[in-house]
Amino acid sequence: MRQSDTNDSAARVGILPYAVSDGLDAIVSEAVDRLRARGVKVAGLLQRSGGAAPGGKRAMWVEDIGTGQMIRLDQPRGPGAIACTFDTGALAQAAYLLQTAVESGAELLVVNRFGSVEAEGRGLRPEIAAAICSGLAVLIPVRASLLPELQAFLGGSATCLPASVRPIEAWAEALLLRGRSPAVVA
């Protein structure tokens, strides 16, 4: 994918394809911190992992960038559980926080993930669409296997970014900081 002109709203979307998410959350978090230090108004959700849950999975959390509020996205069901552990009530809370972030006056919206629920047409898709349609720059990590579904959803040219702090910063700065005086960071 390539970044096209600013008339294409998907051109303001940065996607972070990944195979294994180890370290990705720390990279996105550091990029957010650096951009905020430069004066970029960043809002949205950061993915966080908790301790090991039964069955070897890790607990899934999201953190609201603006308030620090944490929401657990999975339901602990015990060691014998084989059904989906995704908590739809928690997803609704996360969707509300993301919609509030879209309406907050932010310049950059971070979405914790475009996951299997979004690939199936549910989840945070309406909030992602609202952010894109509002003209916000949007950063979305996505598992590489779900990249085709995200590309189909976007229907336009987004920017594929490597999972590294500097390229994320450079992408956001190119979109958002042109013509601004740089913030002084001590």
The reported pLDDT for the residue numbered 134 is: 93
Whether residue 2 lies inside any domain: the answer is no
The reported pLDDT for the residue numbered 180 is: 58
Residue 38 pLDDT > 60, yes or no?
yes
Whether residue 182 lies inside any domain: the answer is no
CATH code of the domain covering residue 59: 3.40.50
CB-based contact 70:62 (threshold 8 Å): yes
The reported pLDDT for the residue numbered 41 is: 97
pLDDT confidence of 153, banded at 50, 70, 90? very high
pTM: 0.86
Q: What percent of the chain has pLDDT over 70?
A: 84
The reported pLDDT for the residue numbered 184 is: 41
Whether residue 92 lies inside any domain: the answer is yes
Please give the distance of CA 164 from its chain centroid, rounded to a whole number: 14
Burial of 6 (0-12, 13-18, 19+ CB in 10 A): exposed
Secondary structure class of 64 (helix, strand, coil): strand
Q: Out of 14-18, 59-63, 79-83, 92-96, pick the least confident.
A: 79-83
**159: domain range?**
9-176
CB-based contact 98:111 (threshold 8 Å): yes
